[in-house]
Structure 1
Amino acid sequence: MNRINQVIILGAGNLATQLAIALNDAGVDILQIYSRTKESASALAQRVNANPVTELNKIQKNADLYIFALSDKALQPVLDQLAIPIGNVVHTAGSIPMDVFENYSENYGVFYPLQTFSKNRKVDFSKIPICIEANSEYFQEDLFQLGERISDNLHEINSEQRKQLHLSAVFTCNFANHMYSIGQKLLAQKEVDFDLLKPLIEETAAKVQEMDPVSAQTGPAVRFDEEIMTKHENELKDIPDFQKLYRFVSESIFKMHSNKK
């Protein structure tokens, strides 16, 4: 039997939006959406049949779970303004330890969906890894039951593991996307469509589903082909930051492959 059926979500950003939609679609009753701005709170609340709230003292005290889907820097100030105790609580952050709630609630934990989110791009939550941590076996069972309603990919991950997972995600997602942005900018200089790179991007992502990333690595940096690399760096002479980045990443690739031999 599910013990978590009524939820209040604090936050209305990208992750909060997609998580609220997924929970609502799974039959979870979203009572309220809190945001500092009325526009954000109302926009998400309307999508999940909830009530928008912009004042912390207006948050109901009868929810089964309070999900803090806030930015890292916003979490502590919001906690400090809330009345104690505040019921069962989780946050959704990758780098914040679970015990941030230690003095605020009897049952607390982490409900961390590992994915990149945008407000208006719906995702298939059933495939998203949800990393769960709780301060008791009883509450962990509750969180796993909640997770099973929206995902087939649940994991028990502690705070230290999650911190490393988040760091790895920054490299594999945020940094990789920044490289896409650089590629788009370079192509735009020559009026070449970025769509030409999309099959390459898709194949690169597909390869690591079947191979480990080190074995999947290709390109001039693996063999440290100075002739090609120098040509590329010369092409970047008018963009010194990109030129330095190209050299640094190339050297990092070569060093990793030299060490594996």
Structure 2
Amino acid sequence: MKIVMIGAGNVATNIAKTLAKIGETPAQIWSRTLASAEALAETVDSCATSDWNSVMKDADVYIVSVKDDAMLDVIEQLCSRCKHGVFVHTAGTMSMSLFTGKAEHYGVLYPMQTFSKQKEVNFRTIPCFVEASDQQTLDIIMELARLLSDNVRELKEADRKWLHIAAVFSCNFANVCNTMAAKILERHGLDFNVMLPLLDETVAKLHRLHPKEAQTGPASRGDVGVVGKHLALLEGDKELSEVYSVLSDYILKNRV
């Protein structure tokens, strides 16, 4: 399978590295920034370009993995030059209809994971959700997804958008709470590492219990006295106080 990677960010980097490990190295890496394309291409032993006119025209699959706000322009530039092959993007909230009228065979391959260039992930365990314009294209995207992961399933756009919202709550919002915890700890001369055993156990419990059953803490016990004391300590920081109050109210109203 001849693959061209459009993008060199966090998701694209992890996909390209995973493909390279199994002998399916992308034939080319495109990025708006040549230095970014070259850095990834060097890592996976591919070739790089930032010139649309130099993008290979004979790929089997073009994987578009760029920021959502750049997606439409990138797809228009790509599809105006490359007329054959399967076109797939990796975004959780973007519609595959972005390709409609621009390509014949297209779809989505959404790997639900948090990605960073600096840390490789075990792609084989990542849930990958796919959608396609037709059955033939779905078969090809499924084949591509199974090169990456053992956990692949078809999911329609409407459900994928809700899945992405859930992922934002479960991952992004959870981690921003950790940034707030780090802020509090650093103010008082403590290292965030002291939280890691707590976080490890929190995640471990989620492998055995429903999140609602795993919830602990003062608000889950209905201990409004402790909640009040915490809010008093946070009076000097309006943002942290508001977040603590909103989350505590939610937990109090939705206790098991």
Task: Report the TM-score when normalising by structure 1.
Answer: 0.94
SS in 2 for 1:70: coil
CA RMSD, 1 decimal: 1.2
In the alignment, which residue of structure 2 is the partner of 1:148?
A: 146
Decide whether the 8 Å contact of 2:124 with 2:151 is kept in 1.
yes
Secondary structure, counterpart of 2:220 in structure 1: coil
Q: Is the 8 A contact 2:235 2:241 kept in 1?
A: yes
Q: Secondary structure at the match of 1:221?
A: helix
- What is the distance in 2 between the residues matched to 1:225 and 1:209? 27
SS in 2 for 1:112: strand
Match 2:215 to one of 207, 214, 217: 217
Moved over 6 A (4+): none
Contact 1:72 1:93 survives alignment (8 Å): yes
Larger helix share, 1 or 2: 2
In structure 2, what residue type is equivalent to 1:232?
H
Work out the CA distance in 2 between the residues paired with 1:107 and 1:255. 48
> Alpha-carbon deviation of 1:204?
0.6
Q: Tell me, yes or no, if the aligned pair for 1:90 and 1:108 is still in contact at 8 Å.
A: yes
Match of 1:127 among 125, 128, 152: 125
What TM-score do you get using the length of structure 2 for normalisation?
A: 0.96
> Which segment drifts farther, 237-246 or 26-35?
26-35
Quote the offset at 1:243 in angstroms. Answer: 0.3
Q: Deviations over 1:54-89 (max 9, x none)?
A: 011211110000000011110101122231535310
Say whether residues 1:227 and 2:225 are aligned partners. yes
Over the matched positions of the two proteins, sequence identity in percent amounts to 39
Q: In structure 1, what is the equivalent of residue 202 of structure 2?
A: 204
How far apart, CA to CA, are the structure 2 residues paired with 1:86 and 1:60? 11
Distance 1:77 1:135 in 2: 20
- Identify unmatched segments of 5+ residues in structure 1: none
Alignment of 1:1-261 (within 5 A): 5-82=1-78, 83=80, 85-257=83-255
Q: 1:236 deviation in Å? A: 0.8
- Where structure 2 has 5 or more consecutive residues not aligned to the other structure, the ranges are none
Kept in 2, the 8 Å contact 1:86–1:104? The answer is: no
Deviation at 1:154, TM superposition (A): 0.6
AA matched with 1:123: V
In 2, Cα distance between the equivalents of 1:204 and 1:86?
48
Q: Residue type matched to 1:75 in 2?
A: M
Offset of 1:150 from its aligned partner?
2.0
| Residues 148 and 79 of structure 1: CA distance in aligned 2, closer, same or farther (over 3 Å) | closer
- Residues of 2 paired with 1:113 and 1:242: CA distance? 32
Counterpart Cα distance in 1 of 2:146 and 2:76: 31
Aligned residues: 254
Deviations 1:90-138 (A, max 9, x none): 0000000111111111110101111001101011111011111111111
